[in-house]
């Protein structure tokens, strides 16, 4: 973190920090009230401790009978809320000093109907039978972990923050295997205590379990089997005790890597290089993790999905680099999805043209101390011959029974010769027992920025209230962003504005055999300048969204839009120039997506709209075909025809996938992208071999091909090999 910040930021942070320090439990329930809520379960379950660990091979052995079999509390979430499951599910728990073990026995009256096609690590699990485990090791009703496996053996895991928000980009070291037999299928998991953050002395953990039966589109859950409640809602987990005296060894993971690459171009021939680096993860008492990285490298990171910008503001791309994804949820702020996001990690290490800039070194401290959640990150870089340092600090205290309040501070500016600082305060209200069993969520925040060389100080603030629900859900809120607000490490494409937004949705479940639900929804979004003159407007009515019992979804939406650009701009990849002015237009679109319950699925969309005084036609079609559990083929095509202000542009985007899964731990993914704006074809092939959880081999091949009138010319080929392994102490 740079050593100096502006006086305004110092004053703001000092005031907030002193307030939190003075009364960290402001408004909380007293200990007896909190304990009575958290232990409100019919009967306390205790996990049994064993001396001999089970073999994690997917085949149940007699040893599981020595463990704790959970009470058979499973009920349907869908299709009949609260109804009895159509199949029996048994769950067993055991632990020893260093691991806890989960075993599922998923009995099935028709084992031939079990869907087991998904082997992709962290993939989309909607196509398969699957099981889910949710844990809340601190029983703080705000944070936890989720672990999932399909009947095909694919694994998925994530960190839970904010009570129910899941960050599936977190990858922990754990073990799991499955097996299908003539009675159904079984799943065995072993999760080391060293993999997760947990109190080594706390006896009570929160747990929940879920099973998905794909061919019936049936979800069953152990606790809180309600459509209003997500499986990831740790507030609704049940307590299981017997987790004291955990052994996490030294709590030290050392992860070295080596990488070699060869790049061939027509002009420069072949350039070969090699490098190495090191990541260290050290668990510090009571429940903090210190991560250090040296010469970090992101060669194995998945490529971005190409996008064509049809608007007048920058596009938002998701983060995909592991160092910035791990524990990323702690840096979430104020319930903000995109703008005015105070910290957007893609500002670090990615140049404006999308090229990678290496991270020389970085440090991150995340975790908990009592009721305080901590996130600190500092990264040192060198780009364009200049040393650059970026930092972010986040403190989030637990208040009330499920809510949080905290501060954030960022320092650093990718622009040469400037320093930028942002500080802010947020309050995040969460109540899963509102008006009985309803859920009410709210967020409020204020941010201040200061840019050194420009001498500008600005601020942003906003709030939002949400009431999620199965039958009726709604939300509304607003924000204000001053003209001088600038978060150099954040995402704030528009300044000097008010934003207003809201939505209302109603869902029916008619007594029709083949219909699961019918939705209608109203959404509104408006932006004005600080004098309340309209700049953008988007009012939409999803007239119908119909979901069938087998999982098909069809929808029709009407939209009314308005834009008032105060200067001319280019769009559609520079193909169209739009004049300043005030524009209003209508749009209508239909979408169809077929179920994942069969080996192939299709999606299609068609829409017509006005467009800055002209017309736009959009068509899209795609699908995937699970040829076998080992082979997945897919394609997606997008076509736009725009006529506006005497100009015409046709854009085309095509993406193809051909993924081979030899086992759940060995995969070869192939991703081909083409668009007629860049007139290039990108081919990315990635072989990943997880020869042990935490130990990976990647071989990545990238081809860049020019395509002029379908005349293909290979201009660059890059081959990268990277191996990393984990030494656990």
pLDDT at 663: 93
- Classified as helix, coil or strand, 448 is strand
Distance, in Å, from the CA atom of 574 to the CA atom of 63, rounded to the nearest integer, reads: 66
Distance, in Å, from the CA atom of 177 to the CA atom of 56, rounded to the nearest integer, reads: 6
What is the domain partition of the chain in residue ranges?
41-241
Distance, in Å, from the CA atom of 248 to the CA atom of 94, rounded to the nearest integer, reads: 17
Look-up of token digits 């973190």: 1
Helix (H) or strand (E) holding 14: helix 7-22
Q: Which residues have C-beta within 8 Å of that of residue 89, sequence separation ≥ 6?
A: 72, 74, 104, 105, 106, 107, 211, 220
Task: Count other C-beta atoms under 10 Å from residue 507's C-beta.
Answer: 18
Instruction: Report CA 311 to chain centroid distance, whole Å.
Output: 25
**Which residues face 112 on adjacent strands?**
none
Q: What share of the chain is helix, strand, coil (3-state, %, to 5)?
A: 10, 55, 35
Distance, in Å, from the CA atom of 521 to the CA atom of 474, rounded to the nearest integer, reads: 9
Distance, in Å, from the CA atom of 361 to the CA atom of 294, rounded to the nearest integer, reads: 4
Distance, in Å, from the CA atom of 440 to the CA atom of 463, rounded to the nearest integer, reads: 14
Helix (H) or strand (E) holding 11: helix 7-22
Distance, in Å, from the CA atom of 303 to the CA atom of 683, rounded to the nearest integer, reads: 10
Distance, in Å, from the CA atom of 57 to the CA atom of 571, rounded to the nearest integer, reads: 54
- Identify whether the C-beta of residue 562 lies closer than 8 Å to the C-beta of residue 535: no
Look-up of token digits 């401290």: 365
- Phi first, then psi: give them for residue 414, nearest 5 degrees: -60, -20
**Which residues face 76 on adjacent strands?**
220
431-444 pLDDT per residue, tens: 999 988 899 999 99
Nearest CA-CA partner of 473 in 436, 441, 510, 509: 441
Distance, in Å, from the CA atom of 502 to the CA atom of 708, rounded to the nearest integer, reads: 45
pLDDT at 388: 85
Q: How many CA atoms lie within 13 A of 237 on its CB side?
A: 32
pLDDT at 454: 62
- Phi first, then psi: give them for residue 236, nearest 5 degrees: -100, 10
Task: Count other C-beta atoms under 10 Å from residue 266's C-beta.
Answer: 9
Q: What angle do CA 34, 39, 41 make, to 5 degrees?
A: 140
DSSP assignment of 403-446 equals EEEEEEEEE--SSTT--EEEEEEEEEEEEEEETTTEEEEEEEEE
Distance, in Å, from the CA atom of 48 to the CA atom of 63, rounded to the nearest integer, reads: 12
Distance, in Å, from the CA atom of 555 to the CA atom of 694, rounded to the nearest integer, reads: 42
pLDDT at 13: 37
At 493, list the tokens.
Answer: 């494409």
- Identify whether the C-beta of residue 409 lies closer than 8 Å to the C-beta of residue 392: yes
* CATH number of the 41-241 domain: 2.60.40.1190
pLDDT at 376: 96
Helix (H) or strand (E) holding 12: helix 7-22
Distance, in Å, from the CA atom of 142 to the CA atom of 144, rounded to the nearest integer, reads: 7
- Identify whether the C-beta of residue 299 lies closer than 8 Å to the C-beta of residue 564: no
Nearest CA-CA partner of 376 in 358, 361, 362, 356: 362
Residue ranges in the chain modelled with pLDDT below 50: 1-42
At 258, list the tokens.
Answer: 């080596």
């Amino acid at each position: 973190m740079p050593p100096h910040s502006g006086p305004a930021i110092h004053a703001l942070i000092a005031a907030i920090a002193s307030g939190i320090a003075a009364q960290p439990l402001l408004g909380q329930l007293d200990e007896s009230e909190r304990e009575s809520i958290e232990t409100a379960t019919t009967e306390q379950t205790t996990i049994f401790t064993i001396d001999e660990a089970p073999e994690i091979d997917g085949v149940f052995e007699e040893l599981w009978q020595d463990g704790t079999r959970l009470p058979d509390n499973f009920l349907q979430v869908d299709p009949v809320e609260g109804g009895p499951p159509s199949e029996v599910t048994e769950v067993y728990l055991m632990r020893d000093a260093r691991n806890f073990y989960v075993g599922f026995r998923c009995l099935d009256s028709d084992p031939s109907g079990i869907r087991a096609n998904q082997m992709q690590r962290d993939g989309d699990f909607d196509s398969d039978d699957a099981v889910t485990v949710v844990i809340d090791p601190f029983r703080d009703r705000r944070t936890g972990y989720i672990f999932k496996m399909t009947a095909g053996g694919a694994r998925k895991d994530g960190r839970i923050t904010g009570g129910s928000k899941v960050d599936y980009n977190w990858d922990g070291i754990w073990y799991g295997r499955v097996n299908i037999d003539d009675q159904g299928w079984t799943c065995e998991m072993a999760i080391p205590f060293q993999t997760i953050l947990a109190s080594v002395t706390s006896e009570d953990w929160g747990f929940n379990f879920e099973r998905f039966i794909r061919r019936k589109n049936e979800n069953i859950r152990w606790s809180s089997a309600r459509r209003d409640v997500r499986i990831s809602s740790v507030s609704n987990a049940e307590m299981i005790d017997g987790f004291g005296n955990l052994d996490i060894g030294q709590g030290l993971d050392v992860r070295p890597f080596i990488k070699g690459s060869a790049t061939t171009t027509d002009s420069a021939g072949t350039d070969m290089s090699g490098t190495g680096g090191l990541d260290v993860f050290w668990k510090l008492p009571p429940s903090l993790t210190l991560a250090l990285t040296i010469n970090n490298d992101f060669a194995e990171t998945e490529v971005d999905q190409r996008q064509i910008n049809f608007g007048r503001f920058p596009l938002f791309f998701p983060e995909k680099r592991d160092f910035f994804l791990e524990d990323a949820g702690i840096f979430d702020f104020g319930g903000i999805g995109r703008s005015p996001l105070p910290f957007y990690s893609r500002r670090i290490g990615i140049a404006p043209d999308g090229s990678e800039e290496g991270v020389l070194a970085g440090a991150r401290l995340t975790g908990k101390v009592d009721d305080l959640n901590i996130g600190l990150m500092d990264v040192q870089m060198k780009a364009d011959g200049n040393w650059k340092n970026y930092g972010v600090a986040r403190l989030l205290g637990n208040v009330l029974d499920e809510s949080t309040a905290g501060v954030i501070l960022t320092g650093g500016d990718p622009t040469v010769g400037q320093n930028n600082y942002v500080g802010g305060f947020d309050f995040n209200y969460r109540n899963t027992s509102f008006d009985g069993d309803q859920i009410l969520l709210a967020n409020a925040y204020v941010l201040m920025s200061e840019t050194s060389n420009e001498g500008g100080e600005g601020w942003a603030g906003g709030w939002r209230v949400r009431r999620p629900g199965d039958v009726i859900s709604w939300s509304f809120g607003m924000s204000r962003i001053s003209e001088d607000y600038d978060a150099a490490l954040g995402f704030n494409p528009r300044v000097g504005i008010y934003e207003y937004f809201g939505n209302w949705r109603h869902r029916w479940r008619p007594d029709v055999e083949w219909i699961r639900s019918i939705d209608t929804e109203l959404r509104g979004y408006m932006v004005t300048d600080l004098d309340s003159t309209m700049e953008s407007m988007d009012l939409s009515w999803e007239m119908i969204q119909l979901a069938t019992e087998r999982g098909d979804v069809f929808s029709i939406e009407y939209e009314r839009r308005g834009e008032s650009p105060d200067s001319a701009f280019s769009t559609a990849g520079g193909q169209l120039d739009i004049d300043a002015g005030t524009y209003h237009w209508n749009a209508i679109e239909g979408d169809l997506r077929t179920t994942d319950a069969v080996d192939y699925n299709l999606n299609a969309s068609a829409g017509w709209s006005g467009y800055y005084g002209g017309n736009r036609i959009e068509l899209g079609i795609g699908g995937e075909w699970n040829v076998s559990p080992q082979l997945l083929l897919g394609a997606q095509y997008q076509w736009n025809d725009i006529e506006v202000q005497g100009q015409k542009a046709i854009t085309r985007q095509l993406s193809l996938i051909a993924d081979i899964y030899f086992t759940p731990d060995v995969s070869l993914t192939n991703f081909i992208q083409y668009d007629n704006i860049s007139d290039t074809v990108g081919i990315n092939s990635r072989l990943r071999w997880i020869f042990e959880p935490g130990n990976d081999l990647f071989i990545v091949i990238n081809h860049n091909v020019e395509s002029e009138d379908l005349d293909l010319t290979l201009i660059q080929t890059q081959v990268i090999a990277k191996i990393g392994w984990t030494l656990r102490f």
